[in-house]
């Protein structure tokens, strides 16, 4: 049926197929497009009723099937393919049609595409979508940015398909230009940090407490029922239970310890450096994926050096410290990511509302966690909060758990267990909360060798000293 479908989706891979079926489940008619006949046929079959959800390999059939202004979402791999798909659609579109890029595109690409399409009267949105395949099907967290008026056409659909937290949809218009992609990028940076921390704690429990997979499953399950409640802790508990169907024992022990990455964590770190905002818990999570990839070199180096024999810690004591340290370092990681967002908002004119961002992360996305309800409240109480560590409601949470982080970092160092995420989180905390740091010496060194000048504590002005007598 020409010109009647409410929503169009290009890219019928797992995410695309699940997303479009979710749209159709919510009483919107949807039409998909993919060049792959198998994917088109699979969707038509799974959709059941072609008046509700249909698809075509022909871009013209696809565009003509949609009602105007057309709302076309792209769920294709980030990069050149997005531009190619846009070029294919352009000659068939009318002014005021809307293209939504739901992939993990780099934010400056979104700005470029928005400006290019605006010249042709087409609205372009960068919209983060988080929650993996299951989220896309049952309710993702959606992070749209772009032209606000055009968003109103998409809003009812996004609000219907998004995950719900106590009835509230986990989607909100975040800001102009690439705000949506930027927020999703930092979401992923935080995701990298939390994953690194969860895996370090697993290593500590295993090496320092001799925890079996069954015990790890129990511990993470218990944590997921408490203040650490989160998607990542929940799936971690389930991972320890999974048997290896190709051999004996649990699958987790057979998986090669080389972590891959598609780049969003690295972009978060790179851009944080450009902004001058420290996010060391995210930086180290990226570096650890890089170190993990050096498997052959790690094996060779392992043979060259001895390391201390691990002194086991009583299980109950270690478990308690681990829970507190994980809670502490989760808070620090969210604090860093949100600090970056607050700064990027000023730098790029996004006008982000931090409480709204924390709110739409409470369900659907990969970093959803009980903690996000507390974070939402902290920013509701003070929308100008530069850093979560300055929120009165977080002082007690941090103060009561930082001791465990200190104890575990010291224990890990003594026993040769790498915990860079945990120690970076602790060091960030110690540095951020120090009114005096030794960087006065760096200023003196810079002035000594390069006449770079320095400021003083006790008087105004710019000073230089001839250091060599």
Q: Which of 232, 366, 378, 417 binds ligand 6PG (CB under 6 A)?
A: 366
Q: How many CB atoms lie within 10 A of CB 457?
A: 6
Q: Is 131 in the site for ligand 6PG (CB under 6 A)?
A: yes
**Near ligand 6PG in 372-431, by CB under 6 A:** none
To the nearest whole angstrom, how small is the minimum distance from the Cβ of residue 185 to ligand 6PG? Answer: 9
Q: Which of residues 294 and 381 has its CB atom nearest to ligand 6PG in the complex?
A: 294
DSSP state of 166: T
Number of residues counted as binding ligand 6PG (CB under 6 A): 13
Q: Which of residues 262 and 320 has its CB atom nearest to ligand 6PG in the complex?
A: 262
Residue 25 CB contacts under 8 Å (≥ 6 apart), including other chains: none
CA separation for the pair 198, 283 (Å, rounded): 16
The window from 45-53, 130-138, 371-379, 383-391 that contacts ligand 6PG (CB under 6 A) reads 130-138
Q: Which of residues 45 and 260 has its CB atom nearest to ligand 6PG in the complex?
A: 260
CA distance to 35, 59, 65, per residue, from 124 (Å): 22, 18, 20
Are 129 and 105 in contact by the 8 Å Cβ rule? The answer is no
Q: Which of residues 120 and 134 has its CB atom nearest to ligand 6PG in the complex?
A: 134
Site string for ligand 6PG, 79-118 (x = CB under 6 A): -------------------------x--------------
DSSP state of 308: P
To the nearest whole angstrom, how small is the minimum distance from the Cβ of residue 62 to ligand 6PG? Answer: 25
Q: Which of residues 133 and 310 has its CB atom nearest to ligand 6PG in the complex?
A: 133
CA separation for the pair 196, 369 (Å, rounded): 16
CA separation for the pair 88, 71 (Å, rounded): 15
Site string for ligand 6PG, 188-207 (x = CB under 6 A): x--x----------------
The count of C-alpha atoms lying within 13 angstroms of the C-alpha of 364, restricted to the half-sphere facing its C-beta, is 33
The window from 124-132, 225-233, 335-343, 430-438 that contacts ligand 6PG (CB under 6 A) reads 124-132
To the nearest whole angstrom, how small is the minimum distance from the Cβ of residue 195 to ligand 6PG? Answer: 8
To the nearest whole angstrom, how small is the minimum distance from the Cβ of residue 433 to ligand 6PG? Answer: 30
- Cβ-closest position to ligand 6PG: 130
**Near ligand 6PG in 240-299, by CB under 6 A:** 260-262, 264-265
Strand-pair partners of 444: none
- Which sequence positions are flagged as catalytic? 184, 191
To the nearest whole angstrom, how small is the minimum distance from the Cβ of residue 136 to ligand 6PG? Answer: 8
Are 275 and 344 in contact by the 8 Å Cβ rule? The answer is yes
Q: What is the DSSP string of 193-217?
A: HHHHHHHHHHHHHHHHH---HHHHH
Are 216 and 202 in contact by the 8 Å Cβ rule? The answer is yes
The window from 126-134, 320-328, 330-338, 384-392 that contacts ligand 6PG (CB under 6 A) reads 126-134
Q: Which of residues 69 and 263 has its CB atom nearest to ligand 6PG in the complex?
A: 263
To the nearest whole angstrom, how small is the minimum distance from the Cβ of residue 54 to ligand 6PG? Answer: 27
Q: Which of 59, 67, 66, 108 is nearest to 84 (CA)?
A: 59
Residue 251 CB contacts under 8 Å (≥ 6 apart), including other chains: 239, 242, 243, 244, 245
Q: Which of residues 8 and 131 has its CB atom nearest to ligand 6PG in the complex?
A: 131
Phi-psi category of residue 226: left, alpha or beta, with phi > 0 → left and psi -120 to 50 → alpha: beta
Q: Which of residues 235 and 407 has its CB atom nearest to ligand 6PG in the complex?
A: 235
Percentages (nearest 5) of helix, strand, coil residues in the chain: 60, 10, 35
Helix (H) or strand (E) holding 385: none
CA separation for the pair 171, 173 (Å, rounded): 7
To the nearest whole angstrom, how small is the minimum distance from the Cβ of residue 150 to ligand 6PG? Answer: 24
Structure tokens at 171: 């989607």
To the nearest whole angstrom, how small is the minimum distance from the Cβ of residue 180 to ligand 6PG? Answer: 13
Note the Cα 320 to chain centre separation in Å: 27
Q: Which residues bind ligand 6PG (CB under 6 A)?
A: 104, 130-132, 188, 191, 260-262, 264-265, 365-366
């Amino acid at each position: 049926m020409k010109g009647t479908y409410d929503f169009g989706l290009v890219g019928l891979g797992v995410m695309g197929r699940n997303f479009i079926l979710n749209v159709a489940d919510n009483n919107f008619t949807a039409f998909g497009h993919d060049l792959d006949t198998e994917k088109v046929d699979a969707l038509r079959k799974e959709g059941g009723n072609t008046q509700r959800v249909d698809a075509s390999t022909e871009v013209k059939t696809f565009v003509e099937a949609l009602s105007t202004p057309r709302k076309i979402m792209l769920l294709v791999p980030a990069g050149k393919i997005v531009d190619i798909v846009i070029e294919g659609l352009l000659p068939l579109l009318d002014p005021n049609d809307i293209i939504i890029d739901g992939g993990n595109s780099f934010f400056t690409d979104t700005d470029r595409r928005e400006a290019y399409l605006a010249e042709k009267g087409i609205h372009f949105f960068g919209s983060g979508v988080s929650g993996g395949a299951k989220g896309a099907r049952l309710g993702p967290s959606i992070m749209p940015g772009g032209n606000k008026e055009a968003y109103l056409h998409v809003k009812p659909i996004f609000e219907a398909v998004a995950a719900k937290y106590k009835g509230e949809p986990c989607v909100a218009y975040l800001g102009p230009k690439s705000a949506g992609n930027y927020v999703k990028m930092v979401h992923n940076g935080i995701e990298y940090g939390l994953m690194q921390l969860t895996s370090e704690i697993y290593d500590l429990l295993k090496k320092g407490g001799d925890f079996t997979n069954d015990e790890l499953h129990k511990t993470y399950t218990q944590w997921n029922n408490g203040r650490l409640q989160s998607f990542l802790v929940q799936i971690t508990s389930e991972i320890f239970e999974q048997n290896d169907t190709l051999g004996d024992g649990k699958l987790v022990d057979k998986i090669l310890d080389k972590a891959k990455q598609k780049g969003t964590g690295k972009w978060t770190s790179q851009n944080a450096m450009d902004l001058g905002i420290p996010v060391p818990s995210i930086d180290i999570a990226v570096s650890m994926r890089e170190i993990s990839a050096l498997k052959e070199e790690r094996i060779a180096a392992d043979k060259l050096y001895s390391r201390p024999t691990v002194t086991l810690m009583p299980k109950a004591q270690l478990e308690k410290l681990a829970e507190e340290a994980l809670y502490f370092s989760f808070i620090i990681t969210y604090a860093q990511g949100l600090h970056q967002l607050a700064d990027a908002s000023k730098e790029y004119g996004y006008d982000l509302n931090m409480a709204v961002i924390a709110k739409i992360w409470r369900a659907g996305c990969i970093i959803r966690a009980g903690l996000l309800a507390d974070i939402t409240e902290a920013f509701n109480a003070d929308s100008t909060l530069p850093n979560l560590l300055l929120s009165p409601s977080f002082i007690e949470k941090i103060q009561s758990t930082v001791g465990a982080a200190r104890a575990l970092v010291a224990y890990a160092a003594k026993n040769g267990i790498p915990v860079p995420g945990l120690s970076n989180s602790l060091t960030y905390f110690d540095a951020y909360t120090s009114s005096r740091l030794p960087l006065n010496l760096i200023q003196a060194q810079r002035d000594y060798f390069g006449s770079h000048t320095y400021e003083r504590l006790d008087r105004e002005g710019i000073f230089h000293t001839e250091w060599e007598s």
